[in-house]
Structure 1
C-alpha cells in the first residue's frame, strides 16, 4: 500500500509498483489501518500537515512491530523516515538524506498546497526542496552564479509555503538583471525533487517485494502500548464499525429477508474472525493473491471492461482504493482460512449435523464406497488426457460452469490437494456411471445435477 497524492499520481505509482494499492495522503491512524488490512509493505510519500492530524510515529512503529516493512520518501515520508530510521523505517532519496543529516530541518521544505481528490491532489505550490534542487541545477548549468542562487532561495524561503510558486518568486526578484535568462531556463530546467525521490522509493519497494528482496526484512521492534496509543486504536476501530446512513438503509432492507440476512451474517462473521486470526498470527496475503482475488471477482461479476468496473464501483459506493483494500482483506481472509484448513474437518461435520445435511451425504458416501471400493478394481494414476476429460465432465456436467483457470487453487479452496481433487472427481464419475446402469434410491443423481 502506498500513500500518495500531490507528489505522484496513482498511475505513476502503479507503473513502478504494479498491483500497488494507492491510498490518499496519510493522516493520523491511516498507517495503522493499512497495517491491519494486511499490507506486506507500506510506502509513505504524501501526508497531511495542516487541518488534519499528521501520521503518528507510533502507528509506524506498530506496523513495523507486526513485521511490515515501512518505506518513506519525498514528503511526509521523508520526514518520518528521518525520525524513525533508527527503529527500522526505510528512508529513500535525497530529501530523506537531507533531513537525516540535518541539512534541512523545517517541515515547510516539503509542504505544498494542493487541490482536492477530485482533481487528483494537483499541487498548487512549489515545495522548497524542489526549488533548492532547481537552483542547484541552474548553478551547475551556469545559468545562475552563487549570489544569484542565494537571492532566489532567500525570496522563496521568505514566502509562506502555500504561496511558493515560481510566478510569485520571480515577481519578488523582478528587478534582477538576470531574471529573463533564469525564467526562460526554468521552462525546461526545473526539477521535481519530490517526484524523483518517490520514484526511487517505489523502485526500491518493487525490489524488496520480489522474491530476492524479501530476505532483507527488518527486525521487529517492541513498541510501548501507552494510553494515547490505545486511544488511537479505539478511534480507528470505531471508525471501522461506523456506518453511513446509506449503508444502514441497505442493511435494513436485508433484514426484511431473515434467511438471506442469516446467510450473509455467517459470511461476515467468517471474514471478521479470519481477519482477526490473520492479524494475530501475522498471516499476509501477497500481491499475487490480491490480484487473483481481483481477477476472480471481475470474472464472476462480468466486470472485464474498465467502464463496467467503474460503473460497478459507483453503484456500490466504492472508490478504487476502497475496492482494492477490500480485495486485500478478502485475500488475507482466504490465507487465514487456508492456514487452518486441516483443522476444520470436525467443525464442518458438526455444522452438517446441525443443519440436517449430514445423513443424506453419509448415505451417498456409503453407497459410493460400496459400489466403487467394494466391487470395482481401482485404476492406476490418471494420465493427463483423462484428467482433462474428468475435469471437463465435472465442471461442465455436474457444476454447469466453466473450468476455472487455476484448478489447483480450486482444490485448495475445498481443502484438498490437486491430486486428491482428480481422484475425487474420478470416483464421482465412476459412481455416476454405475448409477446409470441401475435404479438409484434417490439423491443428487436423480435431481439432475449430473448431466
Structure 2
C-alpha cells in the first residue's frame, strides 16, 4: 500500500518512519500533491509545505486527489491550514492546531510558519512557530511559572515579531526590554529546557498514527460528495506543475552531501567549522541578538569583499550557485556569527593552542615559528620592508595570495586582512614580508 507524506521542519523523516511505513517527501510545493496523486497512492499526508519562496499547495490539487479516490490528511503546519479550509469537502484534519483553525480561533498563516534550513541540512527549523510558543506559555501558566497576565503579554510580544525572528531567547530578551518582571523571566528561562511544548510535532505524529490505524482497516477508495470540475484553469495548472518544480530547483539531499564531504577528505575541517558556526548561532540566540540594518549591511559587505564579489551581478550569481534560497536569513545568521566571533575573540585565542594540540599541529607550528625567528634575526630581517624583500606592493600581494594561498588577490584588502585574523592591512603586510623573506632564506640553504 503506497502512502506519501510531505514533511520537513516539523518532523524529520526518520521520526515519521517509526510511526508509519510511507514515502517521506520534502515540504510540498504547488503541484506536488497533484504529482504524488498521479502515482495512485492509498493516501497522502500533508504536514509541511512551502508558502513564501515558492507557490503554495493549492486547494484544487487536493480536491482533485480526493476525487480520484485518494485519502488526504493534513496536520501541524501547512497541512492543518489546508485541512481546516477543505474539511467540508472531506480532507481529514488531525490535531490541536487543525482544530483551532477550524474553530476560527486562529486565522493567520504565520501561526505555523517557521524559517528553516534547506534539504542539505534536513530542513532544520531556524525559528519557533507561534503555535508552539502559545502551547509552551499555556503550559508554563499551568505550571505556575507565569501568571495569566504575563502569559498573555508574552503571547502578544511573540505575535508582534516577524515569524523568522521568533525564538524563546529572542522573546525573553524582548520581554526584558519591555519591562516584564526579571524574576519571572528567569524562572521561565530555567523552566523552558524541559517544559517547552512542540505542538506541531505532536500533531504530526498524531496524524501518522491516525493514518496507520485508518489504513489498517482497508477503507477502500475515498468517496467525495462533489463533482470535480476540469476547467481550463485546472488544465493549465496541471501543465505548469513540472515547470514549477524545475524552476524551484532540487537541493542536494543531505545524505549525498555528507557522502561527498567524507569521500573528498574535507569532512574533518568542515565539521569543525560547522560546529563553531552552530555554537555561535546558539550564543547569539541565547543573548537575543537581532542584527539591525547596519549590522546586516556590514556582514554583506564583508562577505562580498572576502569572495571578491564587489559587483552586484557576480554576487547574485554566487548566491544562486550556493543555492541560498533565503538571502535575508543567510545574512542575518552571518551577522550573528561575526558578532559572536568579535565578542569571544579573547576566549578563542586562549583556546587556540589546545585546539592545535588536539589536531596534532602545535608541535610543527611551534618548530616553524622558532626556525623563522632564528633565520630572520640572523639575517637582520626581523621587520623587512618592500625594499629588503625586493618586491613592489603589487608583487607582494600577488605572491602571497596567488602563489602562497592559491586565491585571487582581493579587491579590498582591509576586510580580507581582518578575516585572516590580522588587525589591519599593515599587520598582514608585515607578516607576508616576513614569510617571503623566510622562505627565500630557506631555499638558499
Q: Which runs of 5+ in 2 are unaligned?
A: 250-254, 264-445
Once the two structures are superposed, residues 68-87 of structure 1 have per-residue CA deviations (whole angstroms, 9 ceiling, x without a partner) of: 00000000000000000000
1:5-404 mapped onto 2 (5 Å cutoff): 5-18=8-21, 20-174=22-176, 175-177=179-181, 178-210=184-216, 212-214=217-219, 217-219=222-224, 221-236=226-241
Q: CA deviation at 1:173?
A: 0.8
Report which of the two structures shows the higher radius of gyration computed on alpha carbons.
Answer: 1
Q: Is the 8 A contact 1:208 1:216 kept in 2?
A: no
In structure 1, how many angstroms separate the alpha carbons of the residues matched to 2:131 and 2:116? 16
In structure 2, how many angstroms separate the alpha carbons of the residues matched to 1:225 and 1:78? 26
In structure 1, how many angstroms separate the alpha carbons of the residues matched to 2:130 and 2:246? 40
Instruction: Sort the Cα spacing of 1:153 and 1:233 in 2 relative to 1 into closer, same or farther, 3 A.
Output: same
Normalised TM-score (structure 1): 0.52
Instruction: Sort the Cα spacing of 1:239 and 1:99 in 2 relative to 1 into closer, same or farther, 3 A.
Output: closer
Q: Is the 8 A contact 1:113 1:123 kept in 2?
A: yes
Once the two structures are superposed, residues 54-108 of structure 1 have per-residue CA deviations (whole angstroms, 9 ceiling, x without a partner) of: 0000000000000000000000000000000000100000000000000100000
Q: What RMSD, in angstroms, separates the aligned Cα atoms of the two structures?
A: 2.4
Q: Counterpart of 1:338?
A: none
Give SS of 2:116's match: coil
In structure 2, how many angstroms separate the alpha carbons of the residues matched to 1:156 and 1:59? 34
Q: CA deviation at 1:176?
A: 2.4
Q: Is the 8 A contact 1:108 1:128 kept in 2?
A: yes
In structure 2, how many angstroms separate the alpha carbons of the residues matched to 1:84 and 1:186? 35
In structure 1, how many angstroms separate the alpha carbons of the residues matched to 2:109 and 2:158? 15
Q: CA deviation at 1:228?
A: 1.8
In structure 1, how many angstroms separate the alpha carbons of the residues matched to 2:56 and 2:219? 29
In structure 1, how many angstroms separate the alpha carbons of the residues matched to 2:119 and 2:242? 24
Number of equivalenced pairs: 246
Once the two structures are superposed, residues 419-446 of structure 1 have per-residue CA deviations (whole angstroms, 9 ceiling, x without a partner) of: xxxxxxxxxxxxxxxxxxxxxxxxxxxx
Instruction: Sort the Cα spacing of 1:218 and 1:199 in 2 relative to 1 into closer, same or farther, 3 A.
Output: farther
Q: Is the 8 A contact 2:110 2:130 kept in 1?
A: yes
In structure 2, how many angstroms separate the alpha carbons of the residues matched to 1:131 and 1:4? 20
Q: Counterpart of 2:295?
A: none
In structure 2, how many angstroms separate the alpha carbons of the residues matched to 1:97 and 1:233? 31
Q: CA deviation at 1:7?
A: 0.1
Q: Is the 8 A contact 2:20 2:212 kept in 1?
A: yes
In structure 1, how many angstroms separate the alpha carbons of the residues matched to 2:36 and 2:230? 18
Normalised TM-score (structure 2): 0.53
In structure 2, how many angstroms separate the alpha carbons of the residues matched to 1:120 and 1:24? 9
Q: CA deviation at 1:218?
A: 3.8
In structure 1, how many angstroms separate the alpha carbons of the residues matched to 2:123 and 2:244? 24
Give SS of 1:173's match: helix
